[in-house]
Amino acid sequence: MRFQIPQEIEGRRMEFREFLEKEIRHIGDERDSGGPLTRDELSELILALQRTDIMRASLPVEVGGTNRTFLERVILAEEFARVWPSLAVTVDSHNIVVELIARQGADWMKEAYVEKGVRGEIIMGDLMSEPQAGSDTRNIKATAILDGDAYVVNGTKMWTTNGVWAEVGLLTALSDPTAFARNPKTGVVHLLVDRSVSPFKSRDLPIIGLKAGTTGLMEFNNCRVPKKYLFHDESKGYMQNLVVRGWARVLLAAWACGIMQGVLEDATEFAKERITFGKRIGSHQMIQDMIADMVIGLDTSRLANYKAAELMDNNIRCDLEQALAKAYACEVVNRVTGMAIQILGARGLTTNEGFRTERFYRDARFLTIAEGTTQIMKLIIGRKTLGMSAIS
């Protein structure tokens, strides 16, 4: 494992950071508290991001991408979350579906959706979770039953980032509920759902953080999806879900690291300037204790996540390492943002004086829950370590 980031990656990191500081940070500071961006505002921001590598970094060269390594993509995700976590989650979640289409979709899907997705003309979402099936992916109820030349979809999906905006979604549903009940590796398909072809209803589910984006609840009522929109059949649906979830967990850990970096910068800057009892608070032992804990948490989180990314770059299956990185970083970020608020004192409770910490504190809270709770990550780690499952 490399402990020194390659020079070319470090160079692109700094280019992206400079762009974000100049073009994006002030927008996030001013706009995030106002609630979800409009669809037009999101498109404008994605258009601005075209001047960087972020919209094409995950795509293969043959469809106009730059095919960056997982390690580089993790580093870019950190930088994005360091400036505006809410926008990072919105854009990166969209990019995951664009990447899936680019790498696994039929040729006509690539032609119809990839470039439009890169340019933000179409927004995409991953329609996986359901009211009764968040971490319990074996409890899916939404169905997609083949009827002549189309799949008839019924059911509810929720907690989908971009769900309100999404014109296109990658839907996980049961094509054979009986087979799925016997073996969750069978009877499940993925469909590409284009709202203009197969209309469905959606509404926002406001959450405590990530205010710039939308978290959708989508309802399908006899929604007909043409057969040609089949993305993964029953032989691939389950395994492809595992692949997507693994990358998403590493991505969440990267967002956690970016948030930690952001609040650490705020806390250290404040500690160097704020004077109490006749001296700068950074010279107080208990402040230094918290700063040290923040640095330790961030650095160890990065090491765990970079290890998982390097294994992925070498095509090594790493369920344990992905789960470990996600569980650790996403728990630590909640402690680190809490310590940052403590250091900032009353100023940590407001964004009116230029500090990001209050907003980042709320943004961080969803990380221990999304893409498998910390408890589910620990069950994966336990299963891989012991060779036995705690879930029947």
According to DSSP, residue 365 is labeled: G
Residue range 300-330, pLDDT digits in tens: 999 999 999 999 999 999 999 999 999 999 9
Q: Which of 240, 110, 221 is nearest to 172 (CA)?
A: 240
* Residue % of the chain over a pLDDT of 70: 97
Q: How many CB atoms lie within 10 A of CB 185?
A: 16
Q: Strand, helix or coil at 119?
A: coil
What is the average pLDDT score of the chain? 93
**What is the mean predicted confidence (pLDDT) over 324-343?**
97
User: Which ranges constitute the DSSP H helices of the chain?
Assistant: 7-19, 25-31, 39-49, 70-83, 85-104, 107-109, 115-118, 177-182, 237-273, 285-313, 319-344, 357-364, 374-386
Q: Which of 13, 3, 157, 159 is nearest to 74 (CA)?
A: 13
What pLDDT does 137 receive?
74
163 vs 202: CA distance, rounded Å:
7
**What is the mean predicted confidence (pLDDT) over 9-24?**
96
Residue range 139-189, pLDDT digits in tens: 889 999 999 999 999 999 999 999 999 999 999 999 999 988 888 888 999
Query: Do 143 and 153 meet the contact criterion of CB atoms below 8 Å apart?
Result: yes
Q: How many CB atoms lie within 10 A of CB 156?
A: 17
Vertex 117 angle, CA 18 and 163, to 5°? 100
Handedness of CA 201, 36, 330, 47 (dihedral sign): positive
**What is the mean predicted confidence (pLDDT) over 333-339?**
98
Q: Which of 188, 373, 353 is nearest to 274 (CA)?
A: 353
Return the exposure string of 119-151: e unless at least 16 CB atoms fall within 10 Å of the residue's CB, then b: ebebbbbbbbbbeebbbebeebebbbeeeeebb
Tokens 């994006």, residue? 24
> Rounded to 10 degrees, what is the CA torsion of 308, 159, 115, 69?
0
Q: Which of 216, 253, 236, 262 is nearest to 358 (CA)?
A: 262
What pLDDT does 265 receive?
96
1 or 187: which carries more pLDDT confidence? 187
Query: What token pair was written down for 156?
Result: 């509810």
Residue range 35-46, pLDDT digits in tens: 899 999 999 999
Q: Strand, helix or coil at 79?
A: helix
Residue 189: φ, ψ to 5°: -125, 165
17 vs 113: CA distance, rounded Å:
28
User: Which ranges constitute the DSSP H helices of 274-284?
Assistant: none
CATH 1.20.140.10 fits 239-386, yes or no: yes
What pLDDT does 235 receive?
67
Q: Which of 162, 229, 165 is nearest to 197 (CA)?
A: 229
Residue range 70-79, pLDDT digits in tens: 999 999 999 9
Query: Do 126 and 249 meet the contact criterion of CB atoms below 8 Å apart?
Result: no
135 or 303: which carries more pLDDT confidence? 303
Residue range 190-248, pLDDT digits in tens: 999 999 999 999 999 999 999 999 999 999 999 999 999 999 877 665 666 667 788 89
pLDDT at 337 over 70: yes
pTM: 0.94
Cα 101 from chain centre = 17
β-bridge mates for residue 168, sequence order: 124, 194
27 vs 41: CA distance, rounded Å:
11
Tokens 């762009």, residue? 19
Comparing 29-38, 108-117, 332-341, which segment has the lowest mean pLDDT? 29-38
Query: What is the CATH code of the structural domain delimited by 125-235?
Result: 2.40.110.10
pLDDT at 1 over 80: no
Query: What token pair was written down for 149?
Result: 């030349």
What superfamily does domain 7-122 belong to in CATH? Acyl-CoA dehydrogenase/oxidase, N-terminal domain (1.10.540.10)
Per-domain residue ranges of the chain: 7-122, 125-235, 239-386
How far is the CA of 338 from the CAs of 41, 78, 158, 267, 271, in angstroms? Answer: 31, 19, 29, 11, 15
* Residue % of the chain over a pLDDT of 90: 82
